[in-house]
Amino acid sequence: MSNCSYSRDEAIQGRPTSVTTQQVWRRLLQTGFFILFITAPPLDIFRIDVTQPQVVVFGQVWALGIDGLLTGKSSGLQAGIDLIVRGLLPAAAFVLGFGWIAWRYGRLYCGWLCPHFSVVETINGLMRRASAKPSLWEKSPLPLQRADGSAMPKKSHYWAWVAVAVPGFAFLWSLVLLTYLLPPFEIYSNLVSGELTRNQTIFLSAATIVFSLEFLMARHLFCRFGCAVGVFQSLLWMGNRRAMVVGYDQQRAAECRDCATHCEAVCPMRLKPRNRKRHMFTCTECGQCIAACEQVQHTDDGGSAPLLQWVNGPCALGVSAQDFGQRPKLPIDCYRR
């Protein structure tokens, strides 16, 4: 197998694995990170206490060193060195590391860790079960079966789950964000005892309303255009024409004719995975389109390799270089057959 055609685990760990297994691991990583997102403030893993003000990292107060300057205990030179060492350098290292991952792998964080995106996928699934459409703005119903051929009938009672999930996730997000800013145990204690302060009540009420509207009607729009972290990753990824991308084995395009576009149906960002890279600007690299394609190929052809596969290096030019009107000569073994 060429080193420019590989699955995500091959890209990260250097060894192949099945796409179905990857989706199981992706869900586990999403769940684990969502739990970390909720528990980080009360466990003092990370939070910003605006009442002090101070930043807490792994139980330790992360000071920038300017307090000594303000109290006259340190010189301006020492304060400047502390600011660079404790503030600018860690921030630069984080941005560069995160940027390198995005440049090479795209929105890896979005598809595999982001707690907002896991909510997007959950609500998508509930809406699809309720109406055969994963969002309120979907033009046409999706197939009433999964890629593996099993039935996925429309059941209107799932709207009740949507009605619970949307405000439920909205309130949870509002509450967790508040604990990142104020002492967590104070917030949870006030909530349990019904003694939230006026400002805490206003924040939770307003944020819950805003998140509810976003989760219900604009969650995809936020991921595409409103999330600075997501757009940052996409811009870096688009700048690397050899970055990992979902590739389409066009030489076997005839095998798509009876597919019912299952790869498009499962895409949580409502993209068309067989498009050129510039049309996949907001791809979260979740790999669900590849998993669906593999299931269809296995069902129809007794285990054929999927027409959609992750590719990188020279093979990725077949997806990205077309944006510039080029038709590069690709290695003959870009895709597993």
Which two tokens mark 291? 């998993």
Give Cα separations from 107 to 16, 33, 110, 122, 168 (angstroms): 21, 16, 5, 19, 26
Range of the domain at 304: 8-20+233-324
| Residue 298, burial from CB neighbour count under 10 angstroms (0-12, 13-18, 19+) | middle
Whether residue 124 is contained in a domain is answered as no
Number of domains in the chain: 2
In this prediction, residues 119-129 reach a mean pLDDT of 96
**pLDDT at residue 147 tops 50:** yes
The SS3 assignment for 270 reads: coil
Percent of the chain with pLDDT over 70: 86
Structure tokens at 263: 């790869």
| Residue 226 confidence (pLDDT) above 50 | yes
State residue 17 phi and psi, 5-degree precision.
-155, 165
Q: Are residues 89 and 13 in the same domain?
A: no
Considering the domain architecture, whether residues 49 and 16 belong to the same structural domain is answered as no
pTM of the model: 0.85
Q: Which strand ranges, in their side-by-side order, compose the sheet holding 46-49?
A: 46-49, 54-57, 60-61
The answer to whether residue 16 sits within a structural domain is: yes
The rounded distance, in Å, linking the Cα atoms of 236 and 7 is 21
One domain for residues 16 and 59: no
Predicted local confidence at residue 257, as pLDDT: 76
Is 276 within the bounds of a domain? yes
Do 259 and 317 lie in one domain? The reply is yes
Within a domain: 283: yes
Pair (16, 76) in one structural domain: no
